[in-house]
Structure 1
Amino acid sequence: MEIKPNTKILQAFGLEPEGLNVRRFGSGHINNTFLLEKKQDGSKYVLQKINVNVFKEPGVIAANQRMAADFLAVHHPGYLFITPIPTVNGEELFVIDNEYWRMIPFIADSVTVDQADNPKQAYEAAKQFGRLASYLSGIDLKPFKASIPNFHNLTLRYSAFQEAIRTAKEDRKAAAEEMIEEFLRYSDIAVTYEQLKTNPDFRDHLMHHDTKINNVLLNKDTYEGICVCDLDTLMPGKIISDLGDMVRTYVCPVSEEEKDFSQIVIREEYYEALMQGYLEEIGGTLTKVEKEQLFFAGKFMIYMQGIRFLTDYLNGDVYYPIKHPTHNYDRAKNQLVLLQRLMEKEAILQEIIDKCLLISVTSEQ
């Protein structure tokens, strides 16, 4: 069935509906996204409705992207940074019926992948995220606001976990008792985060905060990285957010949805590829403290995601959509196993980090 966004929305961006082919686009779950193609010349655009249930202040997203784009235009003018196409009235967003719409350019000859199928893809994606962070390393963070406040605040997530344990219905608490104890055994991860976030050498950077591999555009033929996309969560944060999410989602061959936990393994070659790609770009900008916490990044993100799933299970599945009664329980168990597998390989993975850091320093000389 042909999909037609409101005519007023299309006209706000200078487009006429009768001259367009319109179809749903992408695999994202947050925003409604459409691909627009002009019948006359084949030029393409991406139209998105921002999900205001997730992003309460769409104007913050637009402002953060604009400030980053302005900085990059001055300091790295050749860098491809996707920015919204303004409306005919020069606005970054078009608002109608309390809906916020934006249009961005379609990047030709690009593809996305939903999982890393080989180490090269992990390397290319990590390199793009590292380059973006490196290029933005000199920007003044004071004007930036959080598009999702406390998004990667482990202190808050751990407090919510403790509260869920206290208030959960007895049947759920009993079913999850063993897993609750396991996650509490690793509470030192939350303690370490609490100590780190007040360390002046563990700085805020402008981070992407959603570094899954499908948020990088790759060349459709060579699979080399082109640029980062989906910049809604571009906001101040710690280096462990972006790196940790890559470790969580690139190094294991199965996702958080996998219930056969025997398939959860740490692929060392993928870990090395993403670490090499990331540190080649950003390694030279990191402090000694930040370099010391590169392995911690994976522990931090996997632990946080695990307790978020378990918290939701204990609360009665009120946040994450579920397909069966133990869905969030299974997701939490998946992340617990992934955390354990990662920690089992800490020694060898730290050797990989040290090697990649040495290479990044050597390449700068």
Structure 2
Amino acid sequence: MKESFITTKLENILKEYGIVEEVTAFRHLQSGLINQTSKIEAGGEQFILQKINHSVFNEPAKIAHNIRVIGNYLAVHHPNYTFVAPVRTSKGADTITLEGGEYYRLFPFVTGSHTLNKVTTPMQAFEAASQFGAFTALLSGFDTSQLQITIPYFHDLTFRYRQFAEAVSTANPVRKTIAEKLIATMQDHFDLVVQFENIKKDPAFRKRVTHHDTKISNVLFNDSDRAICVIDLDTVMPGYFISDVGDMMRTYLSSATEEETDLSKIIVREEIFKAIIDGYSLEMKDELTPAESRSFVYAAKFIIYMQALRFLTDYLNNDRYYAPAYPDHNFNRAMNQSVLLKQIFEKEETLSSYQSIR
């Protein structure tokens, strides 16, 4: 019976945490795209076990450092906040390393919680946005210089555009021809890069503790679908609010995901846009400057455009980063994001009215 749930490797991992009881339940969770995540039960307790993707996060110690210093700050200044910290090993470590360079960590499972894979209602968007806003607001007094960079240039639009331009100059000729119109569209939106450079110079845009990966599956909900807290802090770094808000816009606004190839299904839901602004602003109202409050639409453009650039860059580079499931997969992803961006521009007047009332 035991062997159906546990391997020797898993047994050795759990022993590092002093867990020697029989594993009575084990299942892989499919929501994560980077780390391998599983839910296990042993000794009547439930845990989340993650294998850290070392090719994406090549210095896991930096992740552990960031989570620890943030957790310490919240424990002192906001002790009632639900912060899901890694379980420490018997030796007090945040992660363990196996032979071959595999990194693992264990989290307690939050009883009564669940995650969502897509946004279906404005209330879900509101709840998630308020939690990401609360996370940043509660850490407003935290010294961001304490945070280490886990993915260099992660949301640096200027850097991403430079990668794109280099890919265009060295692209596979066949792929470059296929993507000719999309390349031109991306080049036509270079003004978004210029605006990002202006934001970096503008003191009205403050660098704060930013999550950087605000998809809905990174929020825990209770049985009443009320948000409990945010999770998956691997990409927490100093950043601008446009990163967190923009990523919510990119992943919540359309019911169609970035994998959708029927582009007619990509439709911006205005009620979701408003819910994101309302939820985030509820918690960040004392933090956002007037200039930031007028930049929610730009935040959407910023991240959607950056992701389109990244998919297209990878396509032109023969799929070095995003593993394709079929030929032209990354081209289709880039087209998908380009259509979403086009919708933001087409609905900009209406969308801007939601931010201007703040």
Q: Contact 2:23/2:40 (CA < 8 Å) preserved in 1?
A: no
Q: Pick from 28, 50, 53 the counterpart of residue 52 of structure 2.
A: 50
Rounded to whole Å, the distance in 2 between the matches of 1:345 and 1:20 is 52
Q: Paired residue for 2:241?
A: 239
Q: Paired residue for 2:303?
A: 301
Q: Match of 2:39, SS?
A: strand
Q: Contact 1:36/1:45 (CA < 8 Å) preserved in 2?
A: yes
Q: Match of 1:71, SS?
A: helix
One-letter code of the match for 1:32?
A: Q
One-letter code of the match for 2:330?
A: N
Q: Deviations over 1:207-244 (max 9, x none)?
A: 11000001001112x10001101111111111100000
TM-score normalized with structure 1 length? 0.94
Q: Paired residue for 1:173?
A: 176
Rounded to whole Å, the distance in 1 between the matches of 2:82 and 2:256 is 31
Q: Contact 1:205/1:239 (CA < 8 Å) preserved in 2?
A: yes
Q: How much has 1:19 moved relative to structure 2?
A: 4.8
CA 1:262–1:26: 2 relative to 1, 3 Å:
closer
Q: How much has 1:345 moved relative to structure 2?
A: 0.9
Q: How much has 1:247 moved relative to structure 2?
A: 0.4
* 1:157 is the counterpart of 2:173: no
Q: Match of 1:197, SS?
A: helix
Rounded to whole Å, the distance in 1 between the matches of 2:285 and 2:193 is 25
Identical-pair percentage: 45
Q: Paired residue for 2:355?
A: 353
Q: Paired residue for 1:320?
A: 322
| Further displaced range: 2-11 or 330-339 | 2-11
* 1:34 is the counterpart of 2:38: yes
Q: Pick from 23, 32, 56 the counterpart of residue 27 of structure 2.
A: 23
Rounded to whole Å, the distance in 1 between the matches of 2:305 and 2:6 is 40
Q: How much has 1:7 moved relative to structure 2?
A: 2.4
Q: Deviations over 1:183-208 (max 9, x none)?
A: 11111001111121122221211111
CA 1:9–1:260: 2 relative to 1, 3 Å:
same
Q: CA RMSD in A?
A: 1.3
Q: Contact 1:130/1:277 (CA < 8 Å) preserved in 2?
A: yes
- How do 1:334-345 residues align onto structure 2 when only pairs under 5 Å count? 334-345=336-347
One-letter code of the match for 1:104?
A: F
Q: Match of 1:149, SS?
A: coil
One-letter code of the match for 2:16?
A: A
Rounded to whole Å, the distance in 1 between the matches of 2:185 and 2:23 is 58
One-letter code of the match for 1:6?
A: L
Q: Contact 2:260/2:336 (CA < 8 Å) preserved in 1?
A: yes
- How do 1:93-172 residues align onto structure 2 when only pairs under 5 Å count? 93-97=95-99, 98-172=101-175
TM-score normalized with structure 2 length? 0.96
One-letter code of the match for 1:224?
A: R
Rounded to whole Å, the distance in 1 between the matches of 2:200 and 2:320 is 29
Q: How much has 1:289 moved relative to structure 2?
A: 2.5
Q: Paired residue for 1:66?
A: 68
One-letter code of the match for 2:155?
A: H
CA 1:20–1:2: 2 relative to 1, 3 Å:
closer
Structure 2 gaps, min length 5: none
Q: Contact 1:3/1:23 (CA < 8 Å) preserved in 2?
A: no
Q: Paired residue for 1:285?
A: 287
Q: Contact 1:83/1:104 (CA < 8 Å) preserved in 2?
A: yes
Q: Contact 2:311/2:333 (CA < 8 Å) preserved in 1?
A: yes
Q: How much has 1:26 moved relative to structure 2?
A: 4.3
Q: Pick from 8, 16, 29 the counterpart of residue 12 of structure 2.
A: 8
Q: Paired residue for 1:189?
A: 192
Q: Pick from 307, 313, 333 the counterpart of residue 311 of structure 1.
A: 313
Q: Match of 1:104, SS?
A: strand
One-letter code of the match for 2:195?
A: T
Q: Contact 1:10/1:17 (CA < 8 Å) preserved in 2?
A: no
